[in-house]
């Protein structure tokens, strides 16, 4: 008798999808390739299939669908994934990017990272927000189990999707990477802030730039903001605030480049209004970079006592916090040590093992 086959839905991923892509790469690179009682196969976007997929513990099939095309991706989630799973006689489907099929007899495990379209529909374009809310709700209610990455997101799932608590597994992410993790003696620049994220409004980089402009020029640090795709929408604001000499807007960085950026920066600033987890916070801590972040519940859940929190709606308070930390090397050193200890509590090995346990639980209940 052959081991049950798990189809992993990778249609959303293109090689440049941030925290969700880190999640699938990190957990599946740690899944056993044999002797685990299961087998894996992936249906991938054309972009992902064309790259290095050696991290995946099974065959990766090119779907012919572009993960950059929202309409094609959504259609693929509804029509292609279930059909492919049936043809391959899969025993379970894992959909790790918020959406999944809702008309298949094959059990589905759905990972929901956040419910931004429900919590803050104003941050998602009108019609697209409505479509996302509908598809997420239908997919979650049809799934055999829902995985999520924080207690805060589980609370949102119960509130907006009416999914029973017992059907949701909270499996946190981790900040460790395959690169060398920092030590408290890592040499850093003394004047570089780092911020990471896409350019959606809830990332709140406009307030961070306003805060930077409030700092005196003679003590103003350099700020690097990574994560944009194409023309950066922050460019006009940087010019308007007169910050061209202090701000570097960088595009998408490969993981090893981002690791280096964390390791050389003086302070990581995360002014977000909303997150499902806040993976960059743990990544910064794992590289010994002190963290200043928004005072929102999910970041307290992730960072604990190892970060400094600020009301990120208030540019003046954010500026004061940045200035105070940069002038307090002993506090920065203390945050580095606390951050390294906090990051060590989260490992991708644990995330992968707990995910596999959820799969095995569903397979046992078929």
pLDDT tens digits along 224-269: 999 887 789 999 999 999 999 999 999 888 888 999 999 999 999 9
How large is the average pLDDT for residues 36-59?
A: 95
Task: Tell me, yes or no, whether 254 and 313 share the same domain.
Answer: yes
Same domain for 166 and 315? no
Q: Quote the tokens at residue 354.
A: 């707990």
Pairing state between β 291-294 and 58-62: unpaired
- Mean pLDDT confidence for 139-152: 97
Q: What percent of the chain has pLDDT over 70?
A: 96
Question: Mean pLDDT over residues 84-110, rounded?
Answer: 96
Number of domains in the chain: 2
Q: Which residue has the tokens 């030590």?
A: 183
Considering only residues 165 and 59, tell me which one the structure prediction assigns the higher pLDDT. 59
Residues 216, 202: Cα–Cα separation, whole Å: 27
Q: Name the percent of the chain lying above pLDDT 90.
A: 83
Q: Is the pLDDT of residue 333 over 90?
A: yes
Provide the mean pLDDT of the chain.
93
In a domain, 249, yes or no: yes
Based on the domain organization, do 264 and 148 belong to the same domain?
Answer: no
Distance CA 361, CA 365 (A): 6
Q: Are residues 28 and 127 in the same domain?
A: yes
pLDDT reported for residue 124:
87
- Give the mean pLDDT of 47-63: 96
* 223 phi and psi angles, rounded to 5 deg: -120, 130
User: For residue 47, what pLDDT band results from cuts at 50, 70 and 90?
Assistant: very high
Cα separation, 109 vs 343, in Å, equals 27
* C-alpha distances in Å from residue 334, one per residue of 187, 190, 264, 280: 15, 16, 17, 19
Give the residues across from 292 on adjacent strands. Answer: 269, 308
Question: Is residue 311 domain-shared with residue 167, that is, in the same domain?
Answer: no
Residue indicated by tokens 């929202």: 70
Higher pLDDT, 236 or 2: 236
Q: Per residue in 334-356, is it b (16+ CB within 10 Å) or e — as a string? A: ebbebbbebbeebbbebbbbebb
Confirm whether 127 is domain-assigned: yes
Q: Would residue 186 count as lying in a domain? A: no
Given a cut of 60, is residue 97 above it in pLDDT? yes
Q: Is residue 183 a part of any domain in this protein?
A: no
The model's pTM is 0.94
Q: Are residues 288 and 316 in the same domain?
A: yes
Judge if 167 and 224 occupy the same domain.
Answer: no
Please tell me whether residues 139 and 198 are part of one structural domain.
Answer: no
**pLDDT band per the 50, 70, 90 thresholds, residue 140:** very high
| pLDDT of the residue at 179 | 56
Tell me which of 54-63, 121-130, 263-272 is least confident. 121-130
How much of the chain is in helix, strand and coil states, percent to nearest 5? 45, 15, 40
Beta strands in the chain (DSSP E): 5-10, 39-44, 58-62, 92-95, 108-112, 145-148, 168-170, 192-196, 222-228, 247-251, 267-270, 291-294, 308-310
Q: In terms of domains, do 99 and 219 share one?
A: no
Output the domain CATH number for residue 102.
3.40.50.2000
Please, which pLDDT band fits residue 211 given cuts at 50, 70 and 90?
Answer: very high
Between 35 and 105, residue with greater pLDDT: 105
Report d(CA 196, CA 252) in Å as an integer. 10
Q: Is residue 254 located within the same domain as residue 276? A: yes
Q: Tokens 């669908």 belong to which residue?
A: 65
Check whether 186 has a pLDDT greater than 60: no
pLDDT on residue 180:
44
Residue 363 pLDDT = 96
Residues of the domain holding 84: 5-174+347-364
DSSP characters over 198-245: ---GGG-HHHHHHHHHHS-GGGPPEEEEEEE-SS-TTHHHHHHTT-TT
């Amino acid at each position: 008798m052959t081991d049950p086959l798990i189809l992993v839905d990778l249609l959303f991923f293109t090689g440049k999808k941030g925290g969700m892509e880190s999640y699938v790469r990190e957990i599946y690179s740690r899944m056993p390739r044999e002797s685990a009682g299961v087998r894996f196969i992936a249906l991938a976007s054309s972009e992902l299939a064309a790259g290095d997929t050696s991290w995946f513990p099974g065959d990766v099939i090119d779907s012919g669908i572009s993960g950059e095309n929202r309409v094609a991706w959504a259609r693929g989630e509804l029509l292609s994934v279930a059909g492919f799973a049936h043809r391959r006689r899969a025993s379970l489907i894992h959909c790790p990017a918020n959406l999944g099929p809702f008309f298949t007899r094959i059990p589905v495990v759905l990972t929901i990272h956040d419910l931004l379209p429900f919590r803050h529909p104003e941050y998602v374009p009108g019609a697209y927000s409505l479509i996302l809310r509908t598809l997420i709700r239908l997919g979650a209610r049809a799934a055999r189990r829902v995985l999520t990455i924080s207690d805060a997101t589980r609370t949102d799932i119960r509130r907006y999707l009416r999914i029973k608590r017992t059907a949701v597994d909270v499996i946190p992410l981790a900040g460790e990477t395959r690169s060398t993790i920092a030590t408290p003696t890592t040499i850093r620049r003394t004047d570089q802030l780092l911020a990471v994220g896409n350019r959606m409004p809830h990332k709140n980089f406009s307030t961070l730039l306003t805060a930077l402009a409030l700092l005196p020029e003679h003590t103003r640090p350099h700020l690097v903001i990574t994560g944009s795709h194409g023309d950066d929408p922050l460019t006009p604001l940087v010019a308007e605030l007169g910050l061209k000499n202090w701000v570097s807007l960088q595009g998408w960085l490969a993981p090893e480049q981002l690791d280096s950026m964390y390791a050389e920066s003086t302070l990581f600033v995360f002014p977000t209004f909303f997150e499902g987890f806040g993976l960059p916070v743990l990544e910064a801590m794992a590289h010994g970079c002190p963290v200043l972040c928004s005072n929102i519940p999910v970041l307290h859940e992730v960072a604990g006592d190892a970060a400094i929190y600020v009301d990120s709606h208030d540019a003046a308070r954010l500026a004061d916090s940045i200035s105070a930390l940069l002038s307090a090397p002993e506090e920065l050193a203390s945050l580095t040590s606390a951050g390294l200890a906090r990051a060590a509590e989260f490992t991708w090995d644990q995330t992968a093992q707990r995910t596999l346990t959820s799969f095995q639980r569903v397979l046992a209940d078929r």
